[in-house]
Structure 1
Amino acid sequence: MLRLDASQPMPESLRGAIIALGNFDGFHRGHQAVAKEALDWARAEGRPAIIATFDPHPVRYFAPDAPPFRLTTLDQRQELFANAGADAMLVFAFDAALAATTAQDFVTELLARRLGAAGVVTGEDFTFGKGRGGNVAVLRDLGATCGLAARAVGAVAEQGEVVSSSRIRDALKVGDCGLATHLLTRPFAIRGQVQHGDKVGRTIGFPTANLALGNYLRPRYGIYAVTGLIETGPLRGTLLHGAANMGIRPTFDPPKELLEPHFFDFAGDLYGEEIEVSFHHFLRGEAKFDSLDDLIAQMERDCLQAKDLLSGIARK
C-alpha cells in the first residue's frame, strides 16, 4: 500500500478520494468505524479510499517531554490501514507549519486544493487547525465552499464506555490485556529490532530477544504471556509463543528498561531481526529475587502458566 506525504501533491490517480481523517493511534474499534464509513462511501462512488494519520502525534509536538504513549508505529498503522482495505495511507507531519495552519487553510488549501479530496470522514470530536479552531461543523461549512463533502461518525461504546486510545492506555498501564485486546480488536503489540543485551538469560537457561521500547506506551511492568511474530529474515512469518519481562529487571544491576521475551522451544538467532511481540495475558508484577535459584524457579512457573494460556493460539 502507498504511503503518501500530505505536504506533497496528491498523485493524479488518487485525487477525488474519500479520506478518513484522524490520528488513529492504535486503530481501535472507534477508529475502525470512521475508516469503514470512508471506505464504504468511496466504494459506493467508485473513488479511492485513503486513511490519514498524524506523525508525530500532536501531543508530542506541543508537549515534547510527555512520557511515551504511542500504541502503534507508522509501519504498524500502514499495515492495519491496508488490512482495512484502504488504497493508501496519508501522513501529515505535525510540525510548526502544520500547527500554524488555520482551520480555513487546512480545509480549502490542503484538503481540497493540494490533496484534491472529494470527501472527508472524521469522528464527531475531531478538531483541527491553529488553536483547534476547526471542528466537524467548521469542516462541513468550509468544505461546502470548495466542493469538499464531510461526514462525522459518532463515538463507539463498549461495556458502557466510549472506546478511546486513552482508555486502552489506561488498561495497559494496569495490565488489563483482555480489555485492551477487546477495544483494539487485537492484542497490543510492540515491534522492534532484536538487540544484543547482557545475555544473562542465556546463562540461566532462558535466552531472551531484547527490544527497546522507543516511543511506545509502557504497559504495567511485569511478566506477560506473549506471542512473537518474526517480521524479517529467513524465518519471516514464524509465530512463536513465549513469556516476556516488561520492565527494568530489578534482580539485576544496573536497571535497564527493556521488553525481554523468552520464546519456548526456540534456539534460532534473532539478533538484528525485527519482531512484533503481542501482549496476551498479564501474569504477575515485576519482582526482585534474593537469589538466582529463586528467580529461575519462578521463571519456570511463569513459562508453564504462559504455555497453558497460549495453548489455543496456533503457531506458524
Structure 2
Amino acid sequence: MQGMQKPRVIALGYFDGVHLGHRALMEKAVERARQIGGTSAVFTFDVHPDSVVLGRQVPLITANAYRREEIRLLGGVDEVIFGHFDERMQHMDWRDFIHKMLIGQFGAGWIISGRNNRFGYKGLGNAEGMAAECKKAGIGYDCIEDVKVDGIVVSSTYIRQLISQGDMEGAARFLGHPYTVTGVVEHGRRVGTSVLQVPTVNLALPPEMALPPYGVYATRVLVDGRSHIAATNIGVKPTFRDGGAPTIEPHLLDFAGDLYGKMIHVELHKFLRPEMRFDSTDALKAAIAQNVRQTREYFAK
C-alpha cells in the first residue's frame, strides 16, 4: 500500500446505459470495498473503444454529459475514473493494462469484470487471464456472470436494438430504468406555444445517442429533482418543415414555468405513434390531444 491510500476496488466496463449487468458489477465492487476497507470505483473510457478501433461512432444509451453522474447514481460507487482511449491505449498489452495501469497507476487492490469483458491489445485480455494476473499480483478478482432477463443476456448492444425498434418497455426491463435522453433546454421556434397552444420545451438530441424511432412518446421529464408527465415528440417535425437536426419536444402536461437553460432528463416510457405529416393544424391538434390522453392513461395505470 503506497502511504495511507486506500486500495481501490475497480469494476471494469464501458457502462453505457448502466444496465442490470453493469449494476451487478458495481454492487460487487461496493460489497468488496466494504469488506477490505477500500474505495469502490468504476474504470471506463472517455470514448467508446469500438469507435476508435472500428473508426465509426457507436450510438450511446447515455449522453456523454451525464455519464459520470448516471454511473454513480445507479451504481452507488464512490468514484468514476475515465481513462483516455487512444492509439496508445488500443495497443497496450493486456498485462500492462492490469499491472501498470489498474494496479500501478490507480492502486487497484481488487478488480471486477464481466464474463465477456475483453481488454488490452486486440482484446487478448479476458476473465481467465485477469484472474491469473490478479493472483500473481496478490490482489482480489471477481468475475461476474452474465445477467439475463427472459433468458436473454443483458447487453448494451441488445438494448440499442430494442430502442431502435421503439420497444421502450423492453429497453427499460433490460436497463432496470427507462431509456433517458438528457440535455439542456433550448429556445425552439415557439410553434408549440403560438400555433398549437401547447407549451413545449425543446432539446437537441445529443448526436452521440442511440436514436429511437421518430414519433410521439409517453414520457416523464425530470427537472430540479421533480418528475412531470409529458407527451414528447422526437423527430424533425414534418408539419413545420425547417430541415433541422432531430429534436425532442416534451409537452409537459401539468407544469407551468420556464425551463430554458436547465438540464432535464426525458424518460421514454412508451412509443405512442410514428411521426407523420398532417394536412392541417387542426388535424395535428387533434392528434396531440389524443396523445395527451394516451399519456395520462398510461401513467394512471
TM bucket by the smaller chain?
A: over 0.9
Shift of 1:11: 9.9
Quickly say closer, same or farther: Cα 1:65–1:206, change in 2 above 3 A: farther
Number of corresponding residues: 298
Q: Does 1:133 align with 2:124?
A: yes
Partner of 2:197: 205
Q: List alignment gaps of at least 5 residues for structure 1.
A: 1-9, 231-235
Q: C-alpha separation between the residues in 2 aligned to 1:131 and 1:277?
A: 37
Q: C-alpha separation between the residues in 1 aligned to 2:210 and 2:180?
A: 10
CA RMSD of aligned residues (A): 2.0
Report which stretch shifted further, 75-84 or 150-159: 75-84
Kept in 2: contact 1:223–1:285 (CA 8 A): yes
Q: C-alpha separation between the residues in 2 aligned to 1:71 and 1:238?
A: 20
Q: C-alpha separation between the residues in 2 aligned to 1:27 and 1:143?
A: 25
Aligned mate of 1:60, from 48, 51, 58: 51
Deviations 1:44-91 (A, max 9, x none): 222221122222111222344436333343534434424432111111
Deviations 1:174-206 (A, max 9, x none): 111111111111111111000112111112112
Q: Secondary structure at the match of 1:78?
A: helix
Kept in 2: contact 1:27–1:77 (CA 8 A): no
Kept in 1: contact 2:51–2:58 (CA 8 A): no
Superposed counterparts of 1:112-131, under 5 Å: 112-131=103-122
Kept in 1: contact 2:168–2:178 (CA 8 A): yes
Kept in 2: contact 1:106–1:129 (CA 8 A): yes
Partner of 2:266: 277
Shift of 1:273: 1.0
Aligned mate of 2:222, from 213, 217, 229: 229
Kept in 2: contact 1:112–1:147 (CA 8 A): no
Deviations 1:137-194 (A, max 9, x none): 2212222332333221110111121111111111111111111111111111111000
Q: C-alpha separation between the residues in 2 aligned to 1:26 and 1:79?
A: 8
| Identity across the alignment (%) | 34
Deviations 1:225-276 (A, max 9, x none): 111111xxxxx22321110011111222123311111101323111111111
Partner of 1:4: none
Q: Does 1:291 align with 2:283?
A: no
Deviations 1:84-107 (A, max 9, x none): 321111112212221121112101
Quickly say closer, same or farther: Cα 1:308–1:102, change in 2 above 3 A: same
Quickly say closer, same or farther: Cα 1:67–1:252, change in 2 above 3 A: farther
Q: C-alpha separation between the residues in 2 aligned to 1:12 and 1:72?
A: 37
Q: Does 1:304 align with 2:293?
A: yes
The two structures have a TM-score, normalised by structure 1, of: 0.88
Quickly say closer, same or farther: Cα 1:64–1:275, change in 2 above 3 A: farther
Quickly say closer, same or farther: Cα 1:64–1:159, change in 2 above 3 A: same
Shift of 1:16: 1.1
Q: C-alpha separation between the residues in 2 aligned to 1:74 and 1:300?
A: 33
Partner of 1:175: 166
Report which stretch shifted further, 11-20 or 215-224: 11-20
Q: C-alpha separation between the residues in 2 aligned to 1:11 and 1:228?
A: 46
Kept in 1: contact 2:25–2:112 (CA 8 A): yes
Partner of 1:238: 226
